């Protein structure tokens, strides 16, 4: 499987939405049924965050997926409307795990000034360049103060690995509007991350 073509879980023989409904209603066995259905897609998205990282990176894609998955199934209170909604919430969980990991590494190296070792880099969703995850998180916090919806769009693209089409579904905008916003947000991020 490639990141360009993750398996569509809505086409799975097992209906992910039905399993998500079972989890939301408290069916503890449903969590075991869900993992095989969502694992491949979440693993591909997590793997994208680790491209170009050293092999000895202290956090691996599999661990990221498992930690995010456990957080989600332990706290299903928000309810999930679809596979895409579940993946959007998983994106938030992966973002938080990556940020916390980067902060712990920065503290351990006594570099609290936002710059940690290589392990804090994240790939951009549309190119082969990298961005420091702590810098990106600070920019997202600033953007959330200006416009929470725009911050959510960036989070879904970077940390969720969602396409523009998937993102437009989650944020409730047309694909053309989402594409326009994404272009504007990429320009804003470029300026923000350069300190202009």
Residue 57: C-alpha distances to residues 101, 110, 117, 137 (Å): 11, 18, 10, 20
Whether the model pTM is above 0.85? no
pLDDT in tens, the chain (196 residues): 333 334 444 444 457 778 877 877 878 788 778 778 778 888 887 777 777 666 666 777 888 888 888 887 777 655 666 777 777 888 888 888 888 887 887 776 655 454 444 556 666 676 667 778 888 889 999 999 999 999 999 988 888 888 889 888 888 899 999 999 999 998 998 898 886 4
**CA angle (157 as vertex; 156, 159 as ends), nearest 5:** 65
DSSP label at residue 114: S
**Contact (CB, 8 A) for 52 and 121:** yes
Q: What are phi and psi of 111, to 5 degrees?
A: -125, 70
Tell me which residue of 88, 80, 83 sits closest to 24, measured CA to CA: 80
User: Per the structure block, which two tokens stand in for 186?
Assistant: 């990429």
pLDDT of 55: 64
pLDDT at residue 119, as a whole number: 54
Task: Note the pLDDT of residue 181.
Answer: 94
How confident is the model at residue 134, as a pLDDT? 83
Longest dimension (CA), the chain: 51
The pLDDT value recorded for residue 110 is: 58
- Measured CA to CA, the distance from residue 55 to residue 60 in angstroms comes to 9
């Amino acid at each position: 499987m490639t990141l360009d073509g993750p398996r569509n879980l809505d086409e799975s023989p097992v209906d992910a939405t039905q399993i998500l409904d079972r989890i939301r209603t408290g069916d503890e066995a449903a969590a075991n049924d869900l993992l095989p259905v969502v694992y491949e897609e979440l693993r591909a998205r997590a793997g994208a965050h680790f491209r170009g990282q050293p092999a000895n990176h202290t956090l691996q894609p599999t661990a990221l997926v498992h930690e995010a998955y456990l957080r989600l199934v332990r706290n299903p209170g928000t309810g999930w409307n679809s596979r895409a909604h579940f993946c959007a919430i998983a994106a938030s969980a992966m973002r938080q795990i990556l940020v916390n990991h980067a902060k712990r590494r920065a503290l351990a190296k006594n570099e609290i000034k936002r710059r940690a070792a290589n392990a804090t880099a994240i790939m951009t969703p549309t190119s082969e360049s990298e961005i420091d995850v702590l810098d990106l998180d600070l920019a997202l916090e600033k953007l959330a103060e200006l416009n929470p919806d725009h911050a959510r769009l960036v989070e879904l693209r970077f940390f969720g690995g969602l396409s523009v089409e998937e993102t437009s579904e989650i944020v409730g905008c047309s694909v053309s509007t989402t594409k326009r916003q994404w272009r504007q947000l990429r320009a804003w991020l470029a300026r923000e991350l350069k300190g202009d």
